[in-house]
Structure 1
Amino acid sequence: MQDDRTVQETRALILTTAEAHLRRYGYARTTVSEIARACGMSHANVYRFFKAKADIIDAVIEQWLRQTEIALQAIATQQIPAVAKLKAYVLELYRIKRQECATEQELFETFTTILQEHRTVVAQHIQAIRAILKEILRSGVQTGELQIIDLERATNAVWDATLKFHHPLLVVDTIDEPSEEQAQTILDLLIVALKIGCI
């Protein structure tokens, strides 16, 4: 048990140090050697816990993205109408991405880099937040608020229609636009369609 704790503590130290380096130096300038030096260990010792730099970066970004998943899951479990949950979900995800872009630039850029590399950690994150969206839509069907014919198609439709407001690269491209107003308009249209069984 003590060994397990030691392993966990060492992994946590490596990840905390790696995150600090990412925030300060960015993805390209963060190296295993620098992480090891800051941790007071050899880079060979770091490789006992992570096979490569990519695995360290993925683990850091996974922890970072989990905060978004927790925030969205909190919305899904609120005791409010499903329509209100849907609006809150889309707008919260949009605000999180904008805030990350503005205030956590190095981590955000790291995320966009590994996004374009189609890494598993990104796919798992997308799967997680899409599952939350699907859960919200299902709750609307169960309460009778929404008349959805095909839940999977409806989830895809909402996801695709709101992509501009949560895809990191699109958020960067539209950072100066009044996108929250646009998101509200898209949501109003989607909700009408979901209420009358168009999907």
Structure 2
Amino acid sequence: MIIQTLSLSCEAMSEKTDTREQILEAAMNRIKHYGYGKTTMSEIAKDCCMSAGNIYRFFGSKIDIAEAMARQFNAELYQTYSEIARGSESPPARLRKIFHHGLSQTYDAIKREAKILEVAEVLGEERPLFMNEGLAQERIYLCMILEDGVEQGVFAPIADCNYTAEMIQSGLMKYRFPQLFSRLTLVKLQRELNGVLDIMIAGLQRGVERTPENEC
């Protein structure tokens, strides 16, 4: 049966010590197969060999499980971003590397598990603060690179690093969840991303004044 292939056996589950991780693993397996909308908390509980009431001790709702899934994915992404930001390559190269890594990782994850895109859409609608938190975390690494670029004389002085990083993110939003915004192949998206980054990096090297006239 399909459920048998998706779920861990009760015996295997009992050998695990972290119940929260058991629930998250079972939920991920089910959501990847059936989709977020067609997955219920009672089904996840059954896969974990526990009562539906017990699962709410660990996750208050299905959207909490979706957020936990996204946090797990992001944790690995941010670890790589941190390593790139602290790397020895030139600031422009590091800037490219961060966005290309994010594009390829997300594109490949959604290509492998198409139902994950549904989770991203739901989180965007129901947990905008979580999405904003992720963008703020990413800006930490972007600012590290931008500040290095200014210090090395590669980029022109930047009055507000966080603002500049935010505008870079806004300009590259299409490449954050590529299949949500486009039907292009990864190769074509990478070409586009390089072109946009060419323009952004040229602007950073030349310098752009931030004035009230530039703002709405």
- Please indicate, yes or no, whether the TM-score normalized by the shorter chain is above 0.5: yes
Question: What is the TM-score of this pair, normalised by structure 1?
Answer: 0.86
Greater Rg over alpha carbons, structure: 2
Count matched residues.
Answer: 192
Could you tell me how far apart the structure 1 residues matched to 2:153 and 2:125 are?
39
Q: Which residue of 1 aligns with 2:180?
A: 172
Please state how far the C-alpha of 1:8 moved relative to its aligned partner. Answer: 6.8
Please state how far the C-alpha of 1:43 moved relative to its aligned partner. Answer: 0.9
1:28 aligns with 2:37: yes
CA contact (8 A) 1:115 1:122 kept: yes
CA contact (8 A) 2:23 2:55 kept: yes
> 5 Å matches for 1:118-137?
118-137=127-146
Given the alignment, which residue of 35, 38, 44 partners 2:53?
Answer: 44
- CA-atom RMSD in angstroms: 2.2
Extract unaligned runs of 5+ from structure 1. 1-6
Deviates more, 1:19-28 or 1:177-186: 177-186
Extract unaligned runs of 5+ from structure 2. 1-15, 210-216
CA contact (8 A) 2:32 2:116 kept: yes
Could you tell me how far apart the structure 1 residues matched to 2:90 and 2:74 are?
26
Question: Judging changes above 3 Å, is the alpha-carbon distance between structure 1 residues 182 and 138 closer, same or farther for their aligned structure 2 residues?
Answer: same
Q: Which residue of 2 aligns with 1:58?
A: 67
Identity of aligned residues (%): 25
1:117 aligns with 2:121: no
- Please tell me the residue identity of whatever aligns with 1:172: L
Q: Deviations over 1:5-37 (max 9, x none)?
A: xx9711111111111111111101111111111
Could you tell me how far apart the structure 1 residues matched to 2:103 and 2:57 are?
38
The higher relative CO (CA closer than 8 Å, separation ≥ 6) is in 1
Question: Judging changes above 3 Å, is the alpha-carbon distance between structure 1 residues 57 and 156 closer, same or farther for their aligned structure 2 residues?
Answer: closer
